[in-house]
Structure 1
């Protein structure tokens, strides 16, 4: 928890410092060139100037010409950027940790949001792309489907999320993602209110002017520096094969955040468990690190080598004190929980054999193999027994509860990636 608190503290302090820097508005001619400073916003689209009632002005700062602002220019704003509760505002800024948020307070008039640019002038937030040098995000935007004469209606999404796409139809979208099926058509918006209705950006008439938060079903971290991998004992793994380490700026999916006791340093450290590290499964990543065809067991990276990037925000599963206490070699009593789960193999297989090619069945088989290897290990720690028990329990539950719909959804969601507009770069530089 110390690491997480430190990250949050730094983010808050950074936001407060920024607020101090930009708190003094400019009341001179505030229309300038396109270099964005700490008290300016940049326009993503041409914009009219309004008064505080949302009415268009006929003159602004003594000139009728200044009531219409051009795309790409910067304008000084009134107010200061402030920290906010996550996802509480329609327009916001992302902090450097990719998690916490801030905002420049705006005025809401008849359903539209306006930023104060001084001298009685306001501009619509929907026409702004940057504030104080940082990209502006929106929680939701409206897009319209392009018209193609010969286009027939088609569907996206599964189950209750199934959505019919037609010419000229409008949709609300709330996230952006990279769906890995088609490199030529990879960037997609997510239809608001759905889990997996992803609409290709190429299908819409005009792209969203602000940024949308990136959606990935799995948590992804970004590496701050070159990094090696560790086992569950917190020991450095000595691997001689190519692509066994991470490079700076690599992005990779992870699944748990846990304190592991590191005997060589006599302390507990935070580690992320690499997604699918015990399976021969493509983790859908363009990082330097590649899993071998047979899997590597439980493989970890130090949280201090990474920063959160996208997906569910993970919190530590244990405390440093628990990590130390559970680092001892597991006893037969400690292994009972895992053994009971392994003993359910026959029952689970009755479900698995009905649909042997479902994604969840694939995961279950590899996790069961990991569990059997772990239970037979003479050096497995109590932590390892607990971790593998939780993984096997989740895998069994997924198989038992699996349906055609959940399998289709899982297959789609595992392909949501954070490589927005950058897939060709990662493919080119992977080797």
Structure 2
């Protein structure tokens, strides 16, 4: 009975409302949500979390956020800044005592990561704090004052360009391969670096997130924590068997711009204790941002001739091969090793780069400088093409990462004695453990050829009774190196 009565009253109310609209049915009706009007555009220093109107990080179902937003492993929303240079903002709000920019849709971003507002630089002369930080005196004593995380303060001093990488620094453009390094001079107090704020106030340099609107970087080793259980990868992003567990602490020492740049989504970080392994930026959280290198700086080492447009090739004994590599327009040639070779004719050891046969350079006759046809190549050049050397004094090394010399001058001389079976044992084990060339899978025929030639070279060295210890050591290095290059230099064709 009560249900029937309530239902009847409800119908009556609906009828009254309907009659009101029927009277005005011919009058135009417009019901529209209020549209936010942009106050201008802002750019960001780096990716950062998005917050709600209460200052809480926004959590959503993972991978459901539309571009330019994305999510971390826990589903928290992040503003993605690498492909879009600027974003509209609709208001400026104070949340928990800090400034936030309203990006619309209930998304707010902390002003600490905002660089330009309507093309005006808001971070010139400013430091932004990555963590809550105490303020110290010039003697390293706490003043009793502190600054909160994301606090923005004016520094004392002048930013300077750097010719070598300081301990604390920043780049003018992070993704620019020709990066200019700048730094803000620090004061050393009790073996720690501090930035000056003036009036006898200092902040620890390792607590700074950005300087002048650029990410502050640390030339050292940083701690990182795994956000998910994942396996590490090689430089070319081939997965390894090394499993890292969620919550595990690791050390990282380098940020690498990966080869895949169709849409840059973050750096690969090198593991300090496993220098051939890398972890994706999305899989870790870390304390300090690190120096950046491009993938090619680690994968390839280019050289150019000191003079002329060709580079002469030598064999392992330091004798001229009779051929050169043409370097029209001063093009780079790739090398992958650095050795002292003993030169009997000169009775001394000299530095030579090991030539990396990767990009099929044009061979020419050293004497005539004319192109060589395959049939004109000197004996054994085809078989040993991937084991030739370039005199270090003939070329300029064009890479910031110096190669490690594989031996010393004294070792080059001492290792000219005939190798015993015991001296060959390591190479023998290595040779027997390596796979048949036909089983090798790679997109690049030259990588496979280099590996095959390394196996052939090792076989010859093992069989010969005139092999020197130096040849055994070099054959071992070559086999290990060409094997590693099969996965470290291999990429899908067309990438």
* Structure in which a larger fraction of residues adopt strand: 2
TM-score (norm 1): 0.47
* Structure in which a larger fraction of residues adopt helix: 1
